[in-house]
Amino acid sequence: MIETDVTFSGHILVADDEKVNVDFFQVMLTKLGFDVETACSGEEVFEKLKNFTPDLIILDLLMPNMSGFEVAKRLKAESKTMEIPIIVLTAVSDIRDKVDMLELGIEDYIMKPFNFIEILARIRNVLKVGSIRDELKAYEKKLEFIDDFQKSLNLFLESAQSLSRDMIEWGEKELHRSGGKSRGSENADPFIRKVVEAGRTQLERIEDMKCRYRALMEVLQDEE
């Protein structure tokens, strides 16, 4: 039984060559809170999709010229529409046809004559699955962003570490070469020592940054 306190929302495209069915769906779904567009043929489905992006398509399988199966096949083959869930209305009871629909990627089907309560339940379930899928995609994008950031940060820190080590190595060589005495200027040794000290300080800060970043990642993982 459908929960009466459920708020329905979203964009639905209903495609059926029988006007009575189209009108029925438009009235009932609009009353429930959906934004509904309709089409009476397969060709009109694609015309509607030029200016309307549905969260779900309710598609009659038996339509003239371009059948619902052909429409679904084309929708699932195009990158812009392949992820739009489809519920097919069909009078076909052959198990092979049902398997073909599912293999094509059609999310669900309802046998005619249909019961609107059943359709409403299927709509809610399909949209719920779609919402979960969108959340997973957003989560995957978040992980990709974190991964890219982590790689960029590691490259930067490795570069900074390498530069700091070069500074220290250069400074220590210069101090060793001069034997602790000024070379070319009485200010040479103090400057070189500052370079070495700056390199060591930088290395310490880099290590501290790495530790802080690792701690941050542990906190984020715990929150997930």
Q: Where are the domains of the chain?
A: 11-114, 138-223
What is the pLDDT at residue 148? 84
What is the pLDDT at residue 50? 93
Segment-wise mean pLDDT, segments of 10 residues, the chain, 224 residues: 53 92 91 92 94 93 87 91 90 68 82 82 83 75 81 86 88 77 57 87 88 80 65
For the domain made up of 11-114, the CATH class stated in words is alpha beta
Q: How many residues does the chain have?
A: 224
DSSP-derived secondary structure letter, 1: -
Which residue's structure tokens are 């290590």? 207
> For the sheet containing 86-90, what is the strand order?
35-39, 11-15, 56-60, 86-90, 108-111
CB atoms within 10 A of CB 120: 16
